[in-house]
Amino acid sequence: MQPTITAQQAAERVEEHVRQALTQLPPETRTERISLKSNSPCDVPSDNGPPGRVQVSNSYQLHGLDPAQFTRYFDTLKNYWTGNNHTVLNDDRPKDWFLWVQHNGDAFRITLQGNHLGELYLGATSPCIWPDGQPK
């Protein structure tokens, strides 16, 4: 069991990943936070790790963007992410407006998701961490 970053550091890094993605979108993009989850249990992690760890995530709805340009926004962010040390985990287009990537350096995951209502969402999630950075 190894130490990790703290939940506070994870929250800061989640925001950093979101901010970096937003720099790739048009300047008129406005954000509305729709979900902030800190210390969400990570007791059934995909890495079969020990219980007691948590994940931190944040999601935003993006406003001020033209739904007719979804393809351009998705392509722009996919190109940015793949050119900046991210691996594409899932790209469901054209069936669904869903793109999921993972940063190769810190294992944070970022999603871009759209829907038939013309809504666009951007979020990021930390890997499993110890709340205070130290194993229990």
DSSP state of 133: S
At 65-99, the pLDDT tens digits run 999 999 999 999 999 999 999 999 999 998 999 99
Q: What is the pLDDT of residue 88?
A: 98
- Asked whether the predicted pLDDT for residue 117 surpasses 70, the reply is yes
Pairing of β 30-41 and β 109-114: unpaired
- Nearest Cα residue to 135 out of 2, 46, 6: 2
Distance CA 57, CA 2 (A): 21
